[in-house]
A and B are shown apart, each in its own frame.
Chain A
């Protein structure tokens, strides 16, 4: 276990990048996913159609391809993220990190959109009709009756989409972000005889993150189901 005694800090630091990728692109995916679902279920026909296309096409594209396309095309549109130079302690967040966050967000937001849409579709039509029948306004119907139920029903698929995001952050390694898998590759090169142990240690890191997230998602779902 030489790699762990000498590389313990590197191990933790690499998972910090993984977590930051997850947190930043997770929050942005929730925002963009909400915008997308508003387009898809809203009354404006153009946005409904274009939103539908966007979701269908991006969801059918491999994440690696989304990454590659954004990485190659963005500089031509003047998007270079040269301004991203955040340094916190020993951690550096640069344009590579920004490209990874945008690619992960573009991809994950489509799954967030579908999760929210399945939640909205799960609310029976009678709920809206009853709310209107007792004289609630559009705003009242939405905020008091529809959205609370829709959001509760969205929690499990939303959690699944975010768990997939945790694992998908590993793809950022291919595009030059020094997150957990990238650090794992360095270790497997330096300690070739300990590869199975290194692999299991890094897998354990992901499993811990996934299980902790999943635990809280489950708690939230149970809490709201009984409410």
Chain B
């Protein structure tokens, strides 16, 4: 931490003091952990019977195939849809024609400011709550609309982050606007946007858990079925959390790698909902 902005590299006496703090902090944290473990143990949460389901092949298969796989399926479909929608809305917001730009902006702001859960429930009703696949579709469509609107802003920020000289040079050698965009600006912008798109995958994957409110399949759904049968709520939710965290950490690692490889130190600034839009690129 010698490069920290907050404090100088400590000398020997300060280091000794920090060691004491470290030991005290570790003791406190251990006490807290012991308190949690003792509380759970007193309620028999570590008994083998509570965990047996997770070493039983049929349950493990249900968790991984009906749970994780369905969750990933919903997330992948939603992100694929969101990328397409985001591209359409993002380019719409960058259009020179007002009648394209304003509706696109209104759609983006609407879906960015509305809770995904509300969208999900509404779409679920529209599809018919008694249909078999309506929960699944409601999650995919709601996440497509929400993440598509976020990605539209990401696309705009990415295109704004390409130096203006690039498009100016392209116009100067006689390219049309569509050529400037497709040959020069967008390929560079995609590289800058890549980490943000992966970060949005994490958001989409986490939001699939909201599907529990519309009876969609997925990890939470299977988890609920398991703990209603086995009465092992805490172990089940812990296992479900572990599966989500594992996948998300892999994505996070991918995003960090992409940031290092394609972007470097520069950070993409995506304006918040309702912020006055910064100027369009020429």
The judgment on whether A and B are partners is yes
Q: Which of B113, B233, B248, B249 is in CB contact (< 8 Å) with A210?
A: B113
Q: Are B244 and A44 in contact (CB under 8 A)?
A: no
Q: Are B115 and A43 in contact (CB under 8 A)?
A: no
Q: Are B110 and A73 in contact (CB under 8 A)?
A: no
Secondary structure type dominating chain B contacts: helix
Q: Are A214 and B273 in contact (CB under 8 A)?
A: yes
Within 8 Å CB of A210, what residues of B? 113, 273-274
**Those of B126-152 within 8 Å (CB) of chain A:** 126
Q: Are A163 and B29 in contact (CB under 8 A)?
A: no
Q: Are B26 and A46 in contact (CB under 8 A)?
A: yes
Q: Which of B1, B110, B267 is in CB contact (< 8 Å) with A207?
A: B110
> Given A41-B6, A123-B5, A214-B272, are A76 and B234 neighbors across the interface (CB < 8 Å)?
yes
**Those of B236-275 within 8 Å (CB) of chain A:** 237-238, 240-241, 244-245, 248-249, 252, 267, 269, 272-275
- Stretch of B89-97, B116-124, B156-164, B170-178 at the chain-chain interface: B116-124
> Given A72-B237, A173-B117, are A156 and B272 neighbors across the interface (CB < 8 Å)?
yes
Q: Which of B25, B213, B233 is in CB contact (< 8 Å) with A47?
A: B25
Query: 1/0 contact trace for A45-81 toward B, CB 8 Å?
Result: 1110010000011001111110011001100111000
Secondary structure type dominating chain A contacts: helix
In the assembled complex, the CB of B166 is this many whole angstroms from the nearest CB of chain A, namely: 26
Q: Interface size (A, Cβ < 8 Å)?
A: 64
Q: Are B212 and A64 in contact (CB under 8 A)?
A: yes
Instruction: Given contacts A43-B10, A195-B126, list 18 more A-B pairs with CB under 8 A.
Output: A43-B14, A45-B18, A50-B25, A60-B248, A62-B209, A65-B241, A73-B40, A76-B40, A156-B272, A163-B113, A163-B272, A173-B117, A173-B213, A196-B122, A207-B113, A210-B113, A214-B272, A218-B275
7 closest Cβ pairs, A-B complex: A214-B274, A62-B209, A60-B248, A170-B115, A77-B39, A72-B233, A167-B115
18 contacts between A and B (CB under 8 A): A44-B18, A50-B25, A56-B252, A64-B210, A64-B220, A68-B220, A69-B238, A72-B234, A77-B39, A120-B6, A146-B6, A159-B272, A163-B113, A170-B115, A173-B117, A199-B118, A206-B118, A207-B109
